[in-house]
Amino acid sequence: MRYKEDVDASGPKALRDPAKVAERRVRWESAPALATLRDYVGDLSIRSRCAPAFDADDAGTEARVLFVLEAPGPKVLKYAIRHRLIAYDPAQGVALPRVTHAQTFQPDFLSAQEVEALVAKLSGAYPHDLFVELAAYTGLRAGEMLGLQVRDVNLLRRTLRVERTLQWVNGGWHEDTPKSEKSLRTVPLRRALVERLTEYLAQHPWRDDPTAALWPGRNYAGGGEWRSGLDYSKRMDYASFYRNRFAPAAAAIGHPGLRFHDLRHTAASLFAASGMPLARVSRILGHADTTITYKVYLGFFPDDF
């Protein structure tokens, strides 16, 4: 098998390493799960002169095709076109099949009374009770909650600004922007939440630092009062919170298996129940458009809105 050295050094390793090309070729030719895709590529090659084709004697062409097929997303196709690895974007104009699989979970909507009961169960784990209450009445995603900073809380305007998310990735915290442009948003706060946040920020040791994390971590070493005490120099341990605090509290109020994301569904249902227009609910939740909001929360909006 020969390998063409016709790709610049900045190209993907899949196009520069003959061993990886051979490995991927074996997987491509032998994997039963790829049978349908192999047939599709073969048919595409016949129907279109511009479509990529497999050539057993040309590892360069093969590497190009494997790279395009294995690396999803529009960026890789643009890369392939720019470097003349393919003549055009085969994804353009393709009608995707409609997803018909059944939903694997059912959203669990809490009433306002159940939200208060859940918060009460967490009152001994301050500020986790406020963390849950804020999520249930604003609809923020878990990553958006963790990414909040002191500057994002505007007590005067009674609003919360969502500008970043925080995720635990490969053993470290990774800050990123929200999932879409519409997810960058300003969310209104209930008067009761403003009062609680005012008290909370008054005791926050880094309240004068606008970029300080809103939620503290905890100390898990040592003994006495130091152990499990709040540590504002650390990030909140979401996994520990969910496992040791949130899940038991949810079970105690009769909602075992409640997901944190269900608080987002709860917020949407409470917004709709209050008579808030669909478009406004969609903006608060950060949905790309109102269609998503209506599909997910159809039962909470009147048909003649």
As a whole number of angstroms, the distance between CA 111 and CA 117 comes to 10
pLDDT at 136 over 50: yes
Q: Are strands 216-218 and 230-235 parallel, antiparallel or unpaired?
A: antiparallel
Residues 6+ apart with CB under 8 A from 126: none
Rg (CA), the chain: 26
* pLDDT score, position 158: 97
Average of per-residue pLDDT values in the chain? 78
Question: Can you tell me the mean pLDDT for 82-95?
Answer: 74
Comparing 229 with 200, which gets the higher pLDDT? 200
With CA atoms as reference, report the closest residue to 88 among 63, 51, 120, 45.
Answer: 51
Residue-wise pLDDT for 14-23, tens only, equals: 555 667 667 7
Question: Can you tell me the mean pLDDT for 228-249?
Answer: 91
Tokens representing residue 155 in the block: 């007590």
Domains of the chain: 1-101 (no CATH), 112-300 (1.10.443.10)
Query: pLDDT band at residue 107, thresholds of 50, 70 and 90?
Result: confident
Task: Starting at the earlier edge strand, list the strands of the sheet with 185-188.
Answer: 153-154, 159-162, 185-188
Question: Quick count: other Cβ atoms within 10 Å of Cβ 198?
Answer: 11
As a whole number of angstroms, the distance between CA 18 and CA 26 comes to 13
* pLDDT score, position 199: 97
CA diameter of the chain: 74
As a whole number of angstroms, the distance between CA 280 and CA 187 comes to 10
With CA atoms as reference, report the closest residue to 215 among 100, 134, 287.
Answer: 134
Comparing 113 with 63, which gets the higher pLDDT? 113
Query: pLDDT band at residue 100, thresholds of 50, 70 and 90?
Result: low
Query: pLDDT band at residue 186, thresholds of 50, 70 and 90?
Result: very high
Question: Can you tell me the mean pLDDT for 22-49?
Answer: 62
As a whole number of angstroms, the distance between CA 305 and CA 288 comes to 19
Comparing 161 with 87, which gets the higher pLDDT? 161
As a whole number of angstroms, the distance between CA 277 and CA 274 comes to 9
Question: Quick count: other Cβ atoms within 10 Å of Cβ 24?
Answer: 19
As a whole number of angstroms, the distance between CA 254 and CA 244 comes to 17
* pLDDT score, position 7: 41
As a whole number of angstroms, the distance between CA 145 and CA 134 comes to 9
Residue-wise pLDDT for 153-179, tens only, equals: 999 999 999 999 988 777 777 888 877
As a whole number of angstroms, the distance between CA 132 and CA 263 comes to 8
* pLDDT score, position 38: 62
Question: Can you tell me the mean pLDDT for 135-147?
Answer: 95
With CA atoms as reference, report the closest residue to 143 among 117, 108, 169, 181.
Answer: 169
* CB-based contacts of 199-204 (< 8 A; 24+ apart in sequence): 200/127, 200/130, 201/150, 201/153, 201/155, 204/150, 204/232
**How many residues are there in the chain?**
305
* pLDDT score, position 83: 73
With beta carbons less than 8 A apart as the criterion, state whether 189 and 138 touch.
Answer: yes
